[in-house]
């Protein structure tokens, strides 16, 4: 499978067409951004970590019955995925308060919720990804009610599978963002990536942050945290 034309360059990945109209190749970059793209940098080796970790986790999720876009890992940075029409919602599940939740509601980070929370933002850079609710998403025709129900159920299932897996790795899954897409026949599948860029991971023993917050908050040892997550995930296989 070979790349033909570049279809898109995002902040963290490039997307290429292939000879098969139903498949695209995603290429993961080391570029990192935060705070709506205002903070920019490079995390050496991140592209390879995110590609390999995301593919591995999607495999686990597929085994648990969750349909994903994953097709084939080509090399350290590149993967063939099913081409989808991305549902323009950033789906966020939280197990513990952190980040924008703590800020928005004026609470400290680290509060363990009785049950996971589900929210989504409108994936729209020009509008800075505003938070919205189901009726707003329906009013804007971003997804149908049935699609939103499917997405919610899949996201909560993803949380159960990943939370249990990361616990085996000595890591607490604090929160994460998912994206879903529609295949040509309308089937909803999990797309995009699952990685230290899109999840918060805290060491179960020490509470040390092992994710992109090290970059966002200038905590140092950013590359080391991504490498440590690789060891945890692939060591636990």
By CB under 6 A, name the binding residues for ligand UDP. Answer: 90, 92, 98-101, 129, 175-177, 198-200, 212
Binds ligand ADP by CB under 6 A, chosen from 3, 16, 24, 52: 24
Q: Which does 86 bind (CB under 5 to 8 A by kind): ligand UDP, ligand ADP, none?
A: ligand ADP
Considering only residues 83, 94, 200, 232, which one is a binding residue for ligand ADP as defined by CB under 6 A? Answer: 83
Residue 194 touches ligand ADP, criterion: CB under 6 A: no
Residue 158: DSSP 8-state: H
Q: Which of 46, 52, 60, 69 binds ligand ADP (CB under 6 A)?
A: 69
Query: In sequence order, what DSSP letters do the residues of 177-207 get, joined into one string?
Result: EEEEEE-TT--EEEES--STTTEEEEETTT-
Residue placing its CB nearer to ligand ADP in the complex, 172 or 181: 181
Structure tokens at 222: 């950013």
Interface with ligand ADP, residue 15, by CB under 6 A: yes
Helices and strands: H and E segment counts in the chain = 6, 14
Handedness of CA 193, 196, 199, 203 (dihedral sign): positive
132-158 core/surface letters (b: 16 or more CB in 10 A; e: else): beeeebeeeebbeeebbebbeebbeeb
Which residues form the interface with ligand ADP (CB under 6 A)?
8, 10-13, 15, 24, 69, 81-84, 86, 179, 181, 191-192
């Amino acid at each position: 499978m070979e790349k033909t034309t570049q279809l898109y360059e995002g902040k963290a990945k490039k997307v290429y067409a292939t000879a098969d109209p139903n498949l695209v190749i995603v290429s993961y970059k080391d570029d990192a951004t935060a705070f709506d793209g205002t903070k920019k940098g490079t995390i050496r080796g991140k592209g390879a970590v995110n590609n390999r970790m995301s593919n591995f986790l999607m495999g686990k999720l597929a085994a648990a019955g969750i349909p994903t876009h994953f097709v084939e890992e080509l090399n350290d940075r590149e993967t063939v995925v099913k081409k989808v029409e991305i549902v323009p919602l950033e789906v966020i599940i939280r197990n513990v308060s952190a980040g924008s939740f703590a800020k928005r509601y004026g609470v400290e980070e680290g509060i363990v919720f009785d049950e996971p929370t589900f929210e989504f933002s409108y994936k729209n850079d020009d509008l800075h990804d505003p938070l919205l609710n189901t009726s707003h998403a329906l009013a804007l025709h971003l997804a149908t009610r049935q699609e939103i129900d499917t997405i919610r159920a899949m996201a909560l299932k993803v949380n159960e599978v990943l939370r249990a897996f990361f616990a085996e790795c000595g890591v607490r899954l604090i929160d994460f963002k998912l994206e879903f897409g529609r295949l040509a026949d309308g089937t909803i599948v999990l797309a995009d990536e699952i990685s230290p860029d899109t999840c918060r991971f805290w060491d179960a023993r020490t509470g040390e942050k092992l994710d992109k917050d090290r970059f966002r908050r200038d905590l140092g040892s950013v590359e080391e945290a991504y490498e440590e997550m690789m060891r945890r995930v692939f060591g636990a296989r």
